[in-house]
Amino acid sequence: MEAAEDAGREAWMLLFQLFRSNRREIAQLHSEFDLNPAQVHLMLHVNPESGSPMNELAESLACDASYVTGIVDKLEKRDLVQRQPKPDDRRVKLIALTSQGGEIRNQLMARVSQPPAFIAAMSAADKETLRDIFRRAAVDLPSPGADWMHDLKR
């Protein structure tokens, strides 16, 4: 269908603009917490109960292991995370949240999951429709790692 093609295209361009309108809020988040995007990502992806091995974090951040070392160094210096030995494999270090880190993580989570202005301003009906459409889209996506936010559900 010609019309549907155009609808998809226009929806995409509009979404692009809307996302862009959110740029400032995101920058605000980073400067407020004094954490760069990778650091925020790590804080949210660490398993808050058992901690996470660094190689798993590198995977989920899609970055090199050496960079994770650097991120963890900084977060550890700020007493947000702690390196812990893994008893059954002493090559591995588990990154665990400190109590302060857990606090920050909760604050981050609350902020990140808060819908940006362009969604918050929608009518209740539009929000629900949007959610339904995205639920469907999330299902039939090729989806490599679509469950990356599993730990955000807690």
Partner DNA sequence: TATTGTTATACTCTATAACTATA
Partner DNA sequence: TATAGTTATAGAGTATAACAATA
Q: Does 81 bind DNA (CB under 7 A)?
A: no
Residues 50, 79: Cα–Cα separation, whole Å: 17
Residues 69, 55: Cα–Cα separation, whole Å: 10
Residues 8, 92: Cα–Cα separation, whole Å: 46
Q: Does 67 bind a copy of itself (CB under 8 A)?
A: no
Q: Does 62 bind a copy of itself (CB under 8 A)?
A: yes
Residues 118, 18: Cα–Cα separation, whole Å: 7
When binding is defined by CB under 8 A, the residue of 38, 47, 92, 118 that contacts a copy of itself is 118
When binding is defined by CB under 8 A, the residue of 9, 59, 78, 87 that contacts a copy of itself is 9
A 10 A CB-CB count for 20 gives: 10
Residue 113 partner contact from DNA, a copy of itself, none using kind-dependent CB cut-offs of 5 to 8 Å? a copy of itself
**Any idea which residue has 């989806």 for tokens?**
143
When binding is defined by CB under 7 A, the residue of 26, 33, 47, 63 that contacts DNA is 63
- The alpha carbon dihedral of 73, 77, 79, 85 has a sign of positive
Residue 150 partner contact from DNA, a copy of itself, none using kind-dependent CB cut-offs of 5 to 8 Å? none
Q: Does 31 bind a copy of itself (CB under 8 A)?
A: no
Q: Does 64 bind DNA (CB under 7 A)?
A: yes
Q: Which is nearer to DNA, 90 or 154 (CB)?
A: 90
Q: Which is nearer to DNA, 21 or 129 (CB)?
A: 21
Binding site for DNA (CB under 7 A): 36-38, 53-55, 58, 62-70, 72-73, 83, 88-94
